[in-house]
Structure 1
Amino acid sequence: MLIENTLALYGSAFWLIIKFVTVIVGPALIVGLIISVFQAATQINEQTLSFLPRLIVSLLALMYFGPWMVTQILDEFNYLFMNIPILIG
């Protein structure tokens, strides 16, 4: 296997993981920021207040983007499986 092929595979896997993390963590980060601003404005110092909304938003993002994520993983697997002779040759 050539080093270029190896680096290309690692690069595509890395960007796939970055896209997944961004899709799941991004909305939770935005909700956490909104709740933190609300807590600062009202001077509510409850640490557990932001946990449940962030959890719910993360689960909703996972439910909404789940089919897209599975499709991305299957596309990557199909690319790898179909190009086995090229990649190892």
Structure 2
Amino acid sequence: MTPEAFVDIFRHALQVIVMMVSAIIVPGLVVGLIVAVFQAATSINEQTLSFLPRLLVTLVTMMFLGHWLVRTLMELMYEMVALIPQMVG
């Protein structure tokens, strides 16, 4: 197997990982931005006010996207296992 094939496999794995991580992180970032604007508008400087909503949104996002995340990771692993004979032979 050529080095280019390994680079393609690695690139695909990184794309899947970035897609999965951003699906979890982006909603928390949006909520954090909304809370930060609210805090700036009202001059509330409470640290837990920004932490708790982000935590809750991240947990709810993982609850709703959990099945998709596991399925996507399993598909990636099936692809990797299916490519083992081509890499060795």
Q: Does the residue aligned with 1:45 lie in a helix, a strand or coil? A: coil
| Aligned residue-pair number | 89
| 1:1-89 map, 5 Å | 1-89=1-89
Q: How far 1:4 moved relative to its partner?
A: 1.3
How far residue 40 of structure 1 moved from its aligned partner, in angstroms, is 0.6
The 2-side partners of 1:88 and 1:3 are apart by 13
More off after superposition, 25-34 vs 15-24: 15-24
**Matches of 1:82 and 1:33, distance apart in 2:** 42
Counterpart CA distance in 1 for 2:21 and 2:87 is: 27
Shift of 1:84: 1.4
Letter in 1 for 2:57: V
Gaps of 5+ in 2: none
Moved over 6 A (4+): none
Identity in percent? 44
Instruction: Return the letter of the residue paired with 1:53.
Output: P
> What's the TM-score, normalizing by structure 1?
0.93
Distance 1:24 1:66 in 2: 10
Amino acid at match of 1:65: L
Q: How large is the RMSD of aligned CA atoms in angstroms?
A: 1.0
Q: Return the offset for 1:79.
A: 1.0
Question: Please, what TM-score do these two structures have when normalized by structure 2?
Answer: 0.93
